[in-house]
Structure formats: C-alpha cells, structure tokens
Structure 1
Amino acid sequence: MKNIAFFLLPKAEVTYVYEDSTMRQVLDKMEFEKHPAIPILNHEGKYVGTITEGDLLWKVKNTPNLSFKNSRSVLLKHIERRKTNQSVHIDADIDDLLTLAISQNFVPVVDDQDVFIGIIRRKEIIEYCKKLVNNIRESEGKVDER
C-alpha cells in the first residue's frame, strides 16, 4: 500500500478550532466531542498546530486567577503548546505517516497548498495492521481467534 488517503478522515468529519478561538471555545469543543487534542487552523484553512488538554491545564496552572469563567478572555494564541504535531502531505509515503503516528495520536494531512484536508488517526493504522497480521496468519494456517 502506498496511498495514505486510504486512512484519511476528511476535514468535514474532524473537530478543529481556529487560531483566534478562545480557551473557553476550545474547552467546550473538547468536552462536547470528547477529544483530548484537536487541530488548529488559520482562516485560510492551513494547519497551524494542535492544542491538547495538557496545554490547557498548564495554562491554568501557570496563570494566576485564571478560571473557567474568565477563560473566554484567553486567546488560543496565548496558550503555549508543549508538543508539536507534524503534518504530512496527502502524497506522503506510508513510512512518513507511520513514523509520525508512533508519537502522535493523529497526523494532520495537508494538500499541495498546505491546506488542511483531514487527519489520519493512529487507531485506523493499527486496525489496518491487525488485519494484515491476521491475513498473514490465515495464509500460514494460524488463525487468531480474538
């Protein structure tokens, strides 16, 4: 398999926020969608990073008097991101995708103009690999009963 598009969850199905969102908007979206991390886009649709629950917790810890009530006044651009999720181009090699998926729960995917088009979740990659392993076992006569 060469084409990573096989794994793509398209942008229309992905939870994301814009870089001018507030901390409260991010918190609400994470809570509603039950995601521990979500991509950040600019208004041109380009991927600019990922915000995590941990980033938000560190902001609360390191900002005196910050509370849920006043989190509407904190812009996302003022929250330090402690980890950088790298993106891949849609025509990237599967090896590039796998290398990133080792340390990222999802890999943002961009087109030739670096516009965000979706994500590839580690879950789908692992499920695909499990199927491959099971197919190999079946061809060798060793069926996994799980």
Structure 2
Amino acid sequence: MHVAFFLTPKEEIVWLESDFTVRQTMEKMEYHRYSAIPIIDDNGKYIGTITEGDLLWKLKKSMDITFKETSNLLLKDVERHRDHKSISINSQIEELKALAINQSFIPVVDDQGIFIGIIKRSTILQHFFK
C-alpha cells in the first residue's frame, strides 16, 4: 500500500519556517499543544523537526536570555538533537513501521524534497490494528 493514502496534507497541519524566532516557535507549540513541529526552508523543503527538548536545551545553554529576548533568537540557530527522518511520497507503507517507533509523525516529501505533509503515528497504528 502506498503512503499517500495516510497523508495529512501540509495545508491541514502546523509547520514552521526556518526564519521563525524561538519565541514564535514556542508560542505556536503552546497554542497547538504540540511537542514537535516540522520546519521548512524558503523553498518549501523539509529541513528537520524542532522539539520542546531542543528549545529547552537552547535556553539552558543561554541562561541569561529573557523570554522577551527569544524574539531575537532564530529557530535556525537552535541545535536539533534528534533526526526526524522524512520519507518520499512514493514510499510503501512497510517503510513507515520503523520510523513510527521513534517518531510521532513522519514528514513526507516529494521527489524534489518539498514538504507536502505528514503521516501521524496514530494513523499508522489504526491501519495495522484494524
């Protein structure tokens, strides 16, 4: 079975642009109650996923920064500690199993690496437990 069947398209999810600030990122995470959000660059390509943990480590290393100053700190300057792998829209469902163990969602890209959406772990589990 093709992964496109499980895709939640980009238009229906929350994602971040790489030039967002840390403050914008934290506010988006808080508002949507997400602990991880995909990041795309100016060309629409998937570049990684930011997590709450990544932000906490950055703030810990920058102990003297105030919340107001997080508006001057760019998301692209935050080190990401986990590699959230993406898959191609042309992949088969079997390729999702291993990724779903460690990722709550799997970013999906087209043949040029353009981010087109995600596949949620819950969707994968629902499919396999039917």
Q: Which amino acid aligns with 1:116?
A: F
Higher-Rg member (1/2): 1
Count of residues in correspondence between the two structures: 130
Instruction: Name the structure 2 match of 1:8.
Output: 7
Once the two structures are superposed, residues 10-50 of structure 1 have per-residue CA deviations (whole angstroms, 9 ceiling, x without a partner) of: 00011011111100010011011111000000011000000
The 3-state SS of whatever aligns with 2:129 is helix
1:12-91 matches, cutoff 5 A:
12-91=11-90
The TM-score with structure 2 as length reference comes to 0.96
Gapped regions of structure 2 (runs ≥ 5): none
Whether the 8 Å CA contact 1:110–1:117 is kept in 2: the answer is yes
Instruction: Name the structure 2 match of 1:104.
Output: 103
Identical residues among aligned pairs (%): 48
Gapped regions of structure 1 (runs ≥ 5): 132-146
List structure 1 runs of 4+ shifted beyond 4 angstroms: none
RMSD across aligned positions (CA):
0.8
Q: Which amino acid aligns with 2:10?
A: K
The TM-score with structure 1 as length reference comes to 0.86
Greater RCO (Cα-Cα under 8 Å, separation 6 or more): 2
